[in-house]
């Protein structure tokens, strides 16, 4: 389960990262104007690099044996994918694009899967 979850989120985050770096206007459709200032585009590309970093972290951890480091990676994913839906709701309440609902649901499902994986490994280690 963890291997599939880490692999899937690595690909997802990798695609988001590449999208933010190479096609920030397209990935931000409805949120990024066609005539966006260069500073905004540069700012979005920085997010892309962070997403790529998380993708590499998840990809390299997918085959790792249970360890404190792998638990930290899973916990980091829980935080990241849990805060996302909360920010999507906040954005929707402040007038964000409706597409935020889709990403909010995706991130909530991913967060739930990471929470399940984290709890499962904690119950095994305490048995």
64-102 pLDDT tens trace: 998 999 999 999 999 999 998 888 888 888 887 778 788
Higher pLDDT, 14 or 120: 14
pLDDT of residue 83: 93
pLDDT grade, residue 58 (50/70/90)? very high
Q: What's the CA gap between 96 and 90, in Å, rounded?
A: 9
Query: Taking the domains of the chain in order of start, what are their residue ranges?
Result: 2-125
SS3 1: coil
Residue 126 has pLDDT above 60, yes or no: no
Q: How far apart are the first and last CA of the chain?
A: 19
């Amino acid at each position: 389960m963890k291997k599939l979850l880490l692999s899937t989120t690595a690909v997802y985050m990798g695609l988001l990262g590449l999208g933010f770096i190479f096609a920030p206007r397209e990935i931000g459709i409805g949120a990024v104007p066609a005539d966006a200032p260069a500073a905004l585009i540069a700012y979005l590309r920085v997010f892309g690099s962070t997403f790529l970093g998380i993708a590499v972290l998840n990809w390299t951890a997918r085959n790792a044996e249970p360890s404190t480091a792998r638990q930290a990676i899973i916990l980091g994913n829980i935080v990241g994918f849990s805060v996302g839906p909360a920010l999507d709701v906040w954005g929707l309440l402040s007038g964000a694009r409706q597409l935020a609902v889709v990403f909010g649901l995706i991130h909530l499902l991913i967060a739930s899967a990471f929470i399940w994986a984290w709890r499962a490994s904690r119950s095994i280690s305490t048995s």
